[in-house]
Structure 1
Amino acid sequence: MSIRLRLGLWYGTLAAVLVAVFGAVVFSTVAAYLREDLRRSTERLADHFVESAQGRTDGASAETLMQAFAAPDVTVAVFDSAGRLLAATPPASPGLAPDEGEGTATGAAPARAERLPPFVRGGYRAERAIPAPNVFSVDEPVRAVVLGWFFTRRLMLDRLLRVLVVSGVLASVAGVFIGWGVAGGALRPVSMMVEAARRIARSQDFRHRLPTAGSRDELGQLTSAFNEMLAELEKAFENQRRFVADASHELRAPLATLQGNLELLERAANLSEAERRAVWRDIRDEVRRLGRLVSDLLSLARAEAGQGLHLLPVELDRVVTDVLRSMRNEVAQHRLVVEHLEPVQVMGDADRLRELLVILLDNAIRYTPPGGEIRVGLGHTPGPEVALSVADTGIGIAPEDLPHIFERFYRADKARSRATGGTGLGLAIARWIVEAHGGRIEVESQPGQGSRFTVRLPAARPASPETEAHT
């Protein structure tokens, strides 16, 4: 069952319940008013009958008296002290007779001296003593019983009930159709989302967007969120497609070189030993390049999968010292300057932070000519951060290339050629490592003057004296 149909049925049910409650209140109120009106009318009629009977003195006038009070919804009956019916207005006289077998009591009628017709039940009864019994040709006390019927009023209530039932049915049907229409209009953005999702699934084109009418209700917010999701999916899909294309292109070059060198070794049997060594050296370099490329691709794949880092307190100054010691051979042709190295502790992954510094140093070594200077610094900043900087006096980066250097496989024309042996993924991995630690990476560069990469990471909070005492 669709949501639209369920909403329509809910609207119809709600309308039926509301009309039923309203009808019950109206019906009970009107019925109570009519019963009270019947009581007052019966009491007034009984008093009026007694007053009229007191003014008559001959027995012949009893029939005239009874005819004067004949009414379609009132019965007036007169009984003697033994409970015998002396006079009654039609149509109740056939039903007003003493029960057979019931005894009588002197001066009072039995408790069940009269039987009421079924259609009188639920009405109102008023008894009055008549001090002038001679009107009915008897010398003993008599009493008048006035029965107010509910017949006319029952007809009114029956008509009211029919009106309420018909109104309830019509309100329920109208509620279903109104709910169907309202739900259709309210769920139109959802239907558009379903159609857009199906269209995207068929075409694999994430450029589709839902039209926004400027509404700020929940459905308008849902439409905006859906469009934002489509934009993110489009960007992710484009990044994935470009990543696959770039990775294929990057893998093709070393594989082609390997294939060419192997075919050369297979076909050229008269190569000299020096030429063979050169070919094997090229194969070795390409295999190493392939290994670095695959390792970088694996790191990025883990980053894309949202793989988190296990953060522990790390003394970053020791990490910097270890990396500089391990890379002293690579930096041998350059002048390495440690600007400052303060004791710094951060919450991080030591292996990833070591990889970050290796990437930055390797980047500086590749694009700084021999004899150039590479400067490394680590220290606290005025805020709750620490700053790790790697600067060089290399060829620098053009201003138009700066916004793109952290993209995968991006190489500037001058500063990022494949001749240096890089994979084009180092800075993308460096940015992921920094962001996974809750930091940010900044770059400043001038063509021909060098570049400076600055990594800012949150500083670890120093342990309190109480914590140190417990540990």
Structure 2
Amino acid sequence: MTPRTLRGRLTLWYGGLLASVLVLFGVGFYAALARNLYRGVDQKLLALAEVVAESSVRNFLRPGYTNFSRLLEEFFGVPAAGQFIQVLDPSGKVGARSENLLLRNLPVSRETLHRALHGEMVYETVPDPGAPLRVLTYPVVVRGRVRNVVQVATSLEAVMTTLREVLLALGVGIPVSLFLVLWGGWMVAARALRPLEGLIAAVREVDADQLGARVLEAEGTEEVRELARSINGLLRRLGDAFRRVREFTADASHELRTPLTVLRGEAEVALRHPRSPEEYQRVLASGLEEIHRMGRIVEDLLLLAKGDLGEAPVERVPVALDEVLEDLAGRAAALAEAKGLAFHWAGGPPVWVEADPLRLRQLLWNLLDNAIKYTPEGGQIFLSHARSGPGWVRIAVKDTGIGIPPEHQEKIFERFYRVDKHRSRAQGGSGLGLAICRWIAKVHGGRIEVRSRPGRGSTFLVHLPEAKGNDEGWEARRLES
């Protein structure tokens, strides 16, 4: 069963990895030790067999000769125990043997004797009552013929004892080491995760009314401090989001309450005394105007809400931007003239963008409408467009109106934000127009910015990506349409 805590999982993973390493190390060490021990035994047997074979060649050995003690002592330097020697003739008959083989012979199979008679050395491990014997059957070759066969053997008791002791040490040492390391890992994980527990406790205390609280960033490792900084950043963004939601809710309520208050007040006044048809008509016209205003606010709110969720339908088709601007310039010029403003539109190069025609017109008309609203009589409005770089188009709406203070320029694209709320409401604005403009520009892969100086006017710049293709192809499409 997998532990549910990070501390338990870290300890389990570390313990599992360490156990695998220790087991692999133990198996490898045991196998290497056994191989080296057996190799050492085989090398000693081979050296002893060569000494015995040399003595046999010099006729040092006579049939029935059994005094190998001096030979073994000369070879090993000390009296050797557990060493066995016997010499066979080609028929397999024992010709000489060591004293410890007077009552028995070293086993030799027909296959082993056959291989030895063909000049091959044969190593075997044979069972013995005390401990297994390691036997080397060694051919003595004289003038190309196998004269005798020497068998030397030694007990593997020392090797087996060593291997058992090593196996016991590994069997005890590995679990003990694993337990100690797991215990240490558990403690280290607890110490390393202690700052996380503090973060968890601090975050649990945060609610919607305490989003200004912050967790400590000076405790723990760099990773924990980075997590604390990320949590504080998240809390900061959540606080800003909650603040905007509260402001948005308050502003939306106020914007909808104002026309409702006007409607109720005019209706109550109209019902206090009998009125003429003209007076009733005036009240109804005023009420209808307020209803239209509420309708525009609700539609704008719905559009922005769908835009936030990515559900607002946005069509992307090639649009001749210069034609759209030409059409909007004609409408704006009429409104500007009625207000006593000079409108300037000098045209521009044919430019195509991939956009939603309806949303593009909404974006540009909001900017033109604002420019006309906030420019006093005698002022000027300028509309232009041009390529601002490879693949980009810039649209500029400039006015000589009241301007925007620097501290408000980054906030005017927020919902319901107004520099002067009284003037905007009097002129019929809902405070959502520039927020919609920013959303439309963003959803088309562009951006919108403002440059303004109080009393000197404002310039709104819209940057949109140009439609991919060549001008000749777009012009042909324009002619077809």
CA distance in 1, matches of 2:379, 2:224: 59
Distance change (3 Å), C-alpha of 1:348 and 1:468: closer
Give the conservation status (yes or no) of the 8 Å contact 1:359–1:430: yes
**Cross-structure match for 2:26:** 23
User: Which one-letter code corresponds to 2:248 in the other structure?
Assistant: F
**Cross-structure match for 1:231:** 236
**Cross-structure match for 2:177:** 171
State the aligned residue count. Answer: 445
The answer on 1:420 being equivalent to 2:430 is no
**Cross-structure match for 2:408:** 401
Deviations 1:360-396 (A, max 9, x none): 2221232234x43342322214534433333334333
Deviation at 1:188, TM superposition (A): 5.7
RMSD: 4.5
Give the conservation status (yes or no) of the 8 Å contact 2:65–2:96: no
Deviation at 1:467, TM superposition (A): 9.5
Of the three residues 438, 441, 456, the one matched with 2:448 is 441
Distance change (3 Å), C-alpha of 1:233 and 1:79: same
CA distance in 2, matches of 1:253, 1:434: 30
The answer on 1:123 being equivalent to 2:134 is yes
Distance change (3 Å), C-alpha of 1:467 and 1:159: farther
The answer on 1:255 being equivalent to 2:266 is no
Identify which of structures 1 and 2 has the higher relative contact order when contacts are C-alpha pairs closer than 8 Å and 6+ apart.
1
Deviation at 1:355, TM superposition (A): 0.8
Of the three residues 11, 14, 31, the one matched with 2:17 is 14
Using structure 1 for the length normalisation, give the TM-score.
0.76
CA distance in 2, matches of 1:459, 1:174: 67
Deviations 1:25-66 (A, max 9, x none): 332332233223323444555646996998799999969989
CA distance in 2, matches of 1:142, 1:204: 103
Q: Secondary structure at the match of 1:386?
A: strand
Q: Secondary structure at the match of 1:338?
A: strand
Using structure 2 for the length normalisation, give the TM-score.
0.74
Identity of aligned residues (%): 35
The more displaced of 186-195 and 450-459 is 186-195
User: Which one-letter code corresponds to 1:38 in the other structure?
Assistant: V
CA distance in 2, matches of 1:293, 1:150: 99
CA distance in 1, matches of 2:69, 2:371: 131
Distance change (3 Å), C-alpha of 1:85 and 1:163: farther
Matches within 5 A, 1:217-366: 224-266=229-271, 268-307=272-311, 309-326=314-331, 330-331=335-336, 332-342=338-348, 343-366=350-373
User: Which one-letter code corresponds to 1:264 in the other structure?
Assistant: V
Distance change (3 Å), C-alpha of 1:310 and 1:191: farther
Give the conservation status (yes or no) of the 8 Å contact 2:66–2:96: no
Give the conservation status (yes or no) of the 8 Å contact 1:9–1:179: no
CA distance in 2, matches of 1:428, 1:18: 61
Give the conservation status (yes or no) of the 8 Å contact 2:263–2:287: yes
Give the conservation status (yes or no) of the 8 Å contact 1:392–1:450: yes
Distance change (3 Å), C-alpha of 1:31 and 1:462: closer
Distance change (3 Å), C-alpha of 1:429 and 1:40: closer
Distance change (3 Å), C-alpha of 1:94 and 1:301: farther
Deviations 1:198-232 (A, max 9, x none): 444x5564445454459997666655555444433
